[in-house]
Amino acid sequence: MYDLIVIGMGIGGITAGIYAERANLNVLLIDKGAPGGMLNNIETVSNYPGLVNIKGTDFAKNLLDQVKDLEIPYKFEEVISVKVKDDIKIVKTNKEEYQAKNVIIATGTKPKFLGLDKEKDLLGRGISTCATCDGAFYKDKDVAVIGSGSSALQESLYLAKICHKVYILNRKNRFKGEKLLEKKVKNTENIELIYEVNVKEYNEKDGKIDNIILDNGQKLNVAGVFIYIGYKPNTDMFQDLNILDETGYVQVNEKYETNIDGIYAIGDVIKKNVYQLVTAANDAVYAVSNITKINN
């Protein structure tokens, strides 16, 4: 039996692993995808203290290297449920079943979509939620970015370096992202901002995006559409535990405890004010410190 199983190997989960290992807890990390989580979707991180303009994928690789260096056990499996039997947590994956005294949920979020016709069909064929992963496919082409937060602004700046033109489609009349990013976007020649619009329709040609129609009647001939309209928590597999709020985020107290003893949650999967790399790492340190205190 493990002292601690951490579900998710984004910066939150890996930080928890590092601190647990160093506190001599018998810990296992589990992830269903690429270690580093959301970092793999970020072109450049410029606001993490001590790291000057690091590529998201390099940051993610460094985290995995640290896991290997510290010999922290990890598995690439998908967690499908967590059950509680007396004091024991049973973590079931698509391959195995594990037991632990404590569990930290660090499963992050997934992108939201507009919900328009053809959207899911055209995912990977013109529609994307990751400029870092797919931007290069649109070299010298025109693309649209939908959104008004920091992610939309940051990834538009990246796309502007590759693409011929980037339209940013904002349904409001102002941006809600970082002011510095907004300023940079406004000073970038090949970015055009279109305010108070929604995408009404995606049109395809030969199975790929050809143009989009906006609700102001405008038609934009774009080869790619990048959607940054927010995120929803990866918590479907925890529905039965009764630890989620009405929006699907895990509810925790100031010690990152859920209402079940020994089950904690950290990072983007919890309801909080600031969703950043540094805050996910911070959550992890507090949660592990609490587990260490209780288990000593």
Does 29 engage in binding with ligand FAD (CB under 6 A)? no
Which 79-118 positions form the footprint of ligand FAD (CB under 6 A)? 79, 106-109
Collapsed DSSP state (helix, strand, coil) of residue 243 = coil
Helices 56-69 and 11-22: angle between axes, nearest 10 degrees: 20
Task: Using CB under 6 A, pick the residue from 26, 276, 289, 290 that binds ligand FAD.
Answer: 276
Q: Considering only the stretches 2-10, 116-124, 185-193, 255-263, report the one whose residues sit in contact with ligand FAD under the rule CB under 6 A.
A: 2-10
Tell me which residue has tokens 């010298």: 140
Q: Considering only the stretches 8-16, 18-26, 134-142, 257-265, report the one whose residues sit in contact with ligand FAD under the rule CB under 6 A.
A: 8-16
Backbone region of residue 74 per phi and psi (left: phi > 0; alpha: psi in -120 to 50; beta: other values): beta
Q: Which is nearer to ligand FAD, 30 or 122 (CB)?
A: 30
Contacts of residue 100, Cβ cutoff 8 Å, sequence gap at least 6: 1, 2, 3, 4, 5, 28, 88, 89, 91
Q: Which is nearer to ligand FAD, 275 or 286 (CB)?
A: 275
Task: Using CB under 6 A, pick the residue from 8, 147, 177, 262 that binds ligand FAD.
Answer: 8
Q: How many residues bind ligand FAD (CB under 6 A)?
A: 37
For residue 200, count other CB atoms closer than 10 A to its CB. 14
Cα–Cα distance, 191 to 180 (Å, whole number) = 15
Q: Of 290, 288, 293, 294, which is closest to residue 21 (Cα–Cα)?
A: 288
Reading the block at residue 131, the tokens are: 């400029």
Q: Which is nearer to ligand FAD, 48 or 195 (CB)?
A: 48
Does 134 engage in binding with ligand FAD (CB under 6 A)? no
Q: How far is the CB of 72 from ligand FAD (least distance, A)?
A: 15
Q: Which is nearer to ligand FAD, 32 or 232 (CB)?
A: 32
Task: Using CB under 6 A, pick the residue from 32, 61, 92, 272 that binds ligand FAD.
Answer: 32
Q: How far is the CB of 119 from ligand FAD (least distance, A)?
A: 18
Cα–Cα distance, 145 to 199 (Å, whole number) = 11
Neighbour-count burial for 42-59, b at 16+ CB within 10 Å, e otherwise: bbebeebeeeeebebbeb
Task: Using CB under 6 A, pick the residue from 31, 134, 142, 257 that binds ligand FAD.
Answer: 31
Structural contact between residues 173 and 196, judged by C-beta atoms closer than 8 angstroms: yes
Cα–Cα distance, 39 to 6 (Å, whole number) = 18
Q: Which is nearer to ligand FAD, 47 or 190 (CB)?
A: 47
Which 174-233 positions form the footprint of ligand FAD (CB under 6 A)? none
Q: Which is nearer to ligand FAD, 133 or 213 (CB)?
A: 133
For residue 10, count other CB atoms closer than 10 A to its CB. 30
Q: How far is the CB of 113 from ligand FAD (least distance, A)?
A: 14
Q: Which is nearer to ligand FAD, 204 or 227 (CB)?
A: 227
Q: What is the contact surface with ligand FAD in residues (CB under 6 A)?
A: 7-13, 30-33, 37-39, 41-42, 45, 47-48, 78-79, 106-109, 151, 154-155, 234, 237, 267-268, 275-278, 280
